[in-house]
Structure 1
Amino acid sequence: MIEVHNLYKGFNGVEVLKGISTTFLPGKTNLIIGQSGSGKTVFLKSLIGLHIPEQGTVSFDGRINTEFSQKQKMQWRQEIGMVFQGSALFDSQTVEENVMFPLKMFTDKSQAEMLDRVNTVLTRVNLDNSNKKLPAELSGGMQKRVAIARAIVMNPKYLFCDEPNSGLDPQTAIVIDNLIQEITDEYKITTVINTHDMNSVIEIGEKIVFLNKGIKAWEGTSEDIFSTDSEAVVSFVYSSNLLKKVRQVYLNKTL
C-alpha cells in the first residue's frame, strides 16, 4: 500500500502539487489522470523518489521514503518495477538481456537461475521464444510487453507505469491494459498508472485520482466516473461524442 499525505512540490517558487493526499491499494490498478500541466508526471516522479517534496510524505507499507537510510533506499528500489512511456529498452541488447538486466544489477543469482526467471516472466507476458530478438525486430506492443517483463522480473511490490499505451493502436492498448491488470491482481502488486487513455480509465480504473492544476480534484472508481457530478471530470473524460453517449446510456440504465 502507498499512502500519500499532504504532498506539495514546486519548482522555482511555482507550486505544481498542492496538498495531495490519497491511498493506492495493493492488487488494484490505480490510475492518475488529468490534463497536460495538471501535475501528473511530477506526482508520479514524487512517488518514486525522483522529486523530493517540500512538504508531505509518501509511505510504502508504513515506511516514509524520504526517511530511508542509503541501505533501505537500495532495498526499496529493488521492490519497485517501472514501465516507461517509450519502453526504454536497450537497443543493442536482446530481449533476454533487457529483461535480465535488473537481476544482474541487484542479485547474486547464477546465470541459470537468472535465465529461468527471465523465461518465466517472458512466458507470463506471452513472449515465449523471443529471447534472442532485438527490440528493433519487435512491434510496439511486443516492446511494451518486454518492458513489463523487465519491470516484474524482480517480483516487485510496487509497479509504476508512465503512459503505458503511448504510441499503441487501440487494440494493442487493450491487450497491454489487460496484461497489467492481470499481473497486478495475480501478484497483488500496488500498481500506479499515469495515463491519458480514457479507455484505460473506463476498463481498468479500479482507483482513479484526477488532478486539476496540481490539486486532487476527484477520486473514485471507473463506475463512479460515469455518475460523477464533477464538471472538471466530466469535461476531461467525456470530451468525445462517443464517450458522452456511453455515459448517457449508463445514466439512463441507472435511473
Structure 2
Amino acid sequence: MIEVDNLKKSFSGVEVLKGITTCFDKGKTNLIIGQSGSGKTVFMKCLLGLITPNEGTICYNGKVYSELSPAEQRDLRQEMGMVFQGSALFDSMTVAQNVMFPLDMFTKQSQSEMMDRVDFVLERVNLIDAHNKYPAEISGGMQKRVAIARAIVMNPKYLFCDEPNSGLDPKTAILIDNLIQEITREYDITTVINTHDMNSVMEIGEKIVFLKDGYKAWEGTNKDIFKTDNEAVTNFVYSSELFKKVRQMYLEERN
C-alpha cells in the first residue's frame, strides 16, 4: 500500500500539486487520470522518488520515504518496477538482454540464475519465443510486454505504468490492461497507472484518482464513476458520445 498525505509541489513559485491525500491499495490496479496539466506526471514522479515534494508525506507499507536514509531510499526504489510510455527498451539489446538488465545491474545472481528468471517472466507475459529478437523486430504490443517483463523481473512490491497503452490499437490495449491486472493480483503488487485511456478506466479501474488543476477532485472505482454527480469527472470521462451512451444505459438499468 502507498499512502499519500497532503502532498504539495511547486516549481518556480507555481504550485502544481495542491495538497493531495489518497492511498493506493495492494493487489489492485490504481489509476491516476486527468487532463493534460492536471499534475499526473509530477504526482507519479513524486511517488517514484524522482521529485521531492515541498510538503506532505508518501508512505510505502508503513515507511515514510522522507524519513529513510539514502541507502534505505535506494533499497526501496529497487522494489519499484516501471513501465515507461514508450517502453524505453534498449535497441541494441535483445529481448532477453533488456529483461535481464535490472538483474545484471542490481543483483549478484549468476548468469544461469538470471536467465532462469528471464525465462520465467517472459513466459508469464506470453513471449516464450522472443528471447533473441531485437525491439525493432517485434510489434508495439510485444514491446510493451517486454517492458512489463523487465518491470517485474526484480519481483517488485510496487509497479508504476506511465500511459502503458499509448500508441497501441484498442484490441492490443485491452490485452495489456488485462495482463497488468493479472500480474497485479497474482503477485499482490501495488500498481499505479497514469493514463488518459477511458477504456482502461472502465476495464481495470479498481481505484481511480481524478486530478484537476493539481487537486484531487474525485476518487472511486470504475463502478462509482458511472453514478457520480461530480461535474469535473463527468465532463472529462463522458466527453465522447460513446461513454455518454454507456453511462445512460447503466443508469437506466439501475432504474
Q: CA deviation at 1:61?
A: 0.5
Q: CA deviation at 1:66?
A: 1.8
- Residue 121 of structure 2 is matched in structure 1 by 121
Q: CA deviation at 1:73?
A: 1.5
- Residue 191 of structure 1 is matched in structure 2 by 191
Q: For the residues of structure 2 that align with 1:105 and 1:130, how far apart are their CA atoms?
A: 22
- Deviation string 1:44-96 (CA, Å, 9 cap, x unpaired) is 00111111000000000011112221221221111000000000000000000
The answer on whether the counterparts of 2:30 and 2:191 sit within 8 Å (CA) in structure 1 is yes
Q: Does 1:140 align with 2:140?
A: yes
TM-score, length basis structure 1: 0.99
Q: For the residues of structure 1 that align with 2:37 and 2:75, how far apart are their CA atoms?
A: 32
TM-score, length basis structure 2: 0.99
- Residue 80 of structure 2 is matched in structure 1 by 80
Q: Could you say what secondary structure the match of 2:56 adopts?
A: strand
Q: Does 1:71 align with 2:68?
A: no
- Residue 49 of structure 1 is matched in structure 2 by 49
- Residue 226 of structure 2 is matched in structure 1 by 226
Q: For the residues of structure 1 that align with 2:65 and 2:131, how far apart are their CA atoms?
A: 35
Q: Could you say what secondary structure the match of 1:222 adopts?
A: coil
Aligned length: 255
Q: For the residues of structure 1 that align with 2:101 and 2:77, how far apart are their CA atoms?
A: 14
Q: For the residues of structure 1 that align with 2:79 and 2:138, how far apart are their CA atoms?
A: 28
- Residue 154 of structure 1 is matched in structure 2 by 154
Q: For the residues of structure 2 that align with 1:213 and 1:124, how far apart are their CA atoms?
A: 39
Q: For the residues of structure 1 that align with 2:241 and 2:70, how far apart are their CA atoms?
A: 51
- Residue 179 of structure 1 is matched in structure 2 by 179
Paired amino acid for 1:108 = K
Correspondence 1:16-55 to 2 at 5 A: 16-55=16-55
Deviating 4+ runs (over 6 angstroms): none
Q: For the residues of structure 1 that align with 2:237 and 2:42, how far apart are their CA atoms?
A: 21
Q: CA deviation at 1:211?
A: 0.2
- Deviation string 1:178-225 (CA, Å, 9 cap, x unpaired) is 000000000000000000000000000000000000000000000000
Q: For the residues of structure 2 that align with 1:83 and 1:10, how far apart are their CA atoms?
A: 26
Paired amino acid for 1:101 = F
- Residue 130 of structure 1 is matched in structure 2 by 130
Q: For the residues of structure 2 that align with 1:130 and 1:207, how far apart are their CA atoms?
A: 33
Paired amino acid for 1:174 = I
**Identity %, equivalent residues:** 72
Q: For the residues of structure 1 that align with 2:70 and 2:18, how far apart are their CA atoms?
A: 28
Q: CA deviation at 1:129?
A: 1.6
